[in-house]
Structure 1
């Protein structure tokens, strides 16, 4: 009996010792060819962080400049976009380009609150409606950094975003039509401000000024009904607006809800935006 108790005590002690051992230190998983750049707090008190993915040839071709796709909500959508980009680049249906996810520096952040300030061009409650300041920060701080240090081509900027990011994308197209060459508006929040963006679209159309760009707009089949209705109103209006030189494509992603539409929207959107620059338009040679 004494031997049995000692054996139990030994085993129990061994289990305790094992439980106390630290977990093995495995390397963190990272996205290849990618890095994070935290920027100094700017004049508006915003602390931005850039998620940057560089093309495979970046180090081998030091004099080459690349198109850039800027993606809102980088903390959520950067990895999705990069995964799709790498597949499309492998198939040679898009050129090599840089992907930049736009996000915030710091830990334990409330992204919902932060993004409402940046991405809403119209007031949506307290701490919102500052999209023009974000556009100015892109133009004043972020574009020069990418073009100076990462050989980004200033003539080949593109913008993508989902939901509020999609609304920001449409707003950028109307507010600063010369900043970008193409736009992916995935499930844009058209309904914000009682279809405020539709008013902007109509006002721009009345000027007759061209939008020399490509635009890809999606909604999800199983969005909230009122939200999807707003997207469809905008999609239906595009032919009537007749924006000179704008090449656009609308799509409803079947079977998906609001967030589930992102992967297909970004994948198909990238193909559409970069089609004129695609190195190969036929099937893979493999």
Structure 2
């Protein structure tokens, strides 16, 4: 467990990129995207949303769209949007809005900020800088989701949540803590080992209570993850069929040949296809 704790600490300590040096040339901007800074939360935290709008958003003003919320938007938003554009072109997902969850400001320590928000339990005994996922989920439910649905015509009947590592753990935590808030979940290499498999304990307790989860869930791990980290993911994947959560359909996958971060692209691409399949214009092979 000592090695696992060190792994989690490393994942939370990736240094931010310096923004002090002005660019010599114009910066590239992802098309059809916006940055929205929210008022400070009740806890005094400053959140920023990375928003990507589907192609028809401007031409169909009465249409409402599904929405995918993605943790760690400062890292994963561009990856998700690139995959979404390919999937939408192939008509294997519906048009939907993508919202990357991030923080307002420059020169930020994303590792420290995300650890506070995304971990449902302290990552080590007495660690007050982690274990506040309940507060972040409350902000998401109370402030962020209503803002997106008000400002961008997001359909409240079709929400999904995605995240990797601690973000994947938060995604699973949200599924058990607020069942019904989302109808789709993508947990890429989730940090199941946090808190000595705390998430697995929660899943078992939820199943024993017989509560339903009407949702689609996609869970991945990477073949070349840290062994102890991957073992936790596999324990959860193996447990899912045994739990028999009412109305939950799921798919597990181990991404071959990849390490921890390298699994994101394939995890998000296949995850989006899976969770949005019921709304997709087409499924299966291309149609002539």
Which segments of 5 or more consecutive residues in structure 1 lack a partner in the other structure?
A: 1-22
**Equivalent position of 1:256 in the other structure:** 258
**Equivalent position of 2:43 in the other structure:** 44
Structure 1 residue 178 corresponds to structure 2 residue 167: no
- Tell me the alpha carbon deviations over residues 25-79 of structure 1, each in whole angstroms, 9 at most, x when there is no partner: 6432100000100112111011000000000000000000000000000000000
- Distance in 2 of aligned mates of 1:136 and 1:142: 9
Equivalences for residues 53-64 of structure 1 within 5 A: 53-64=52-63
Which segments of 5 or more consecutive residues in structure 2 lack a partner in the other structure?
A: 1-21
Secondary structure at 1:67 match in 2: strand
- Distance in 1 of aligned mates of 2:154 and 2:263: 28
**Equivalent position of 1:135 in the other structure:** 137
Equivalences for residues 177-196 of structure 1 within 5 A: 177-196=179-198
Structure 1 residue 239 corresponds to structure 2 residue 267: no
- Distance in 2 of aligned mates of 1:24 and 1:164: 32
- Tell me the alpha carbon deviations over residues 70-90 of structure 1, each in whole angstroms, 9 at most, x when there is no partner: 000000000000000000000
Equivalences for residues 112-123 of structure 1 within 5 A: 112-123=111-122
Equivalences for residues 188-207 of structure 1 within 5 A: 188-207=190-209
**Equivalent position of 1:215 in the other structure:** 217
**Equivalent position of 1:5 in the other structure:** none
| Rg comparison, structure with higher value | 1
Secondary structure at 2:274 match in 1: helix
Aligned-pair CA distance for 1:126: 2.8
CA RMSD of aligned residues (A): 1.3
Name the TM-score, length of structure 2 as normaliser.
0.90
Equivalences for residues 103-118 of structure 1 within 5 A: 103-118=102-117
Secondary structure at 1:82 match in 2: helix
- Distance in 1 of aligned mates of 2:171 and 2:248: 15
**Equivalent position of 2:277 in the other structure:** 275
- Distance in 1 of aligned mates of 2:227 and 2:209: 32
**Equivalent position of 1:9 in the other structure:** none
Aligned-pair CA distance for 1:24: 9.9
- Tell me the alpha carbon deviations over residues 187-227 of structure 1, each in whole angstroms, 9 at most, x when there is no partner: 00000000000000000001111100000000000000000
**Equivalent position of 2:98 in the other structure:** 99
**Equivalent position of 1:34 in the other structure:** 33
**Equivalent position of 2:7 in the other structure:** none
Aligned residues: 264
**Equivalent position of 2:3 in the other structure:** none
**Equivalent position of 1:85 in the other structure:** 84
